[in-house]
A = this chain, B = another copy of it.
Amino acid sequence: MLIDGVKFKEILDKRQLRLTGQRKALYQSLAGHNQPVSLKRLASSLSGHMDQVTVYRNVDLFESIGVINKVYTGWKYRIELSEQFRPHHHHMTCVNCGKIITISLGNRMEKAMESFGEKHGFKITGHQIELSGLCKSCLRV
């Protein structure tokens, strides 16, 4: 596992949440994916380790403590580890084959988003940017 498991434990500890076997399994499964996963896939990949209800409850929990982000690619949301564990990035999804590419927009554009909010009196705390289009191979066909 490339992704820091110590930080995960710290985040739980700080709030007196327990590091259970199920939470470890969930975290590791997320760390093992290098693309956002749907809750359905996540749950089925973990079946045997834990009940589906526990997946739901912990996904909610993980979101509330900032361990994961929900990403909307296409019709449904998917889940990935947050920026505490991975560099900030965005996605580009092929509308034809569903391929997801991870991209980073660069500092200038990221900053621009924040100052954009300020112009309208907002203090920006996060943003979602999802591009969709046709990937190289689907363009050819």
Report which A residues bind B (CB closer than 8 A): 70, 72, 75, 77, 92, 94-95, 101, 103, 105, 109, 112-113, 116-117, 120-136, 139
Instruction: Tell me if B103 and A131 are in contact (CB < 8 A).
Output: no
Contact A103 B129 (CB under 8 A): no
Nearest CB on B from A93, distance (A): 9
- In terms of DSSP, what is the predominant structure of the interface of chain A? strand
Contact of A101 among B72, B95, B120 (CB under 8 A): B120
Sample of 15 A–B contacts (CB below 8 Å): A72-B72, A101-B122, A103-B120, A109-B112, A117-B133, A121-B136, A122-B134, A123-B139, A124-B132, A124-B133, A126-B133, A127-B129, A128-B128, A128-B132, A129-B129
Q: In whole angstroms, what is the CA distance A123 to B94 when docked? A: 9
What's the minimum C-beta distance from A129 to chain B, rounded to whole angstroms? 5
Say yes or no: B117 contacts A125, CB within 8 Å: no
Complex Cα spacing A78 to B32, Å: 31
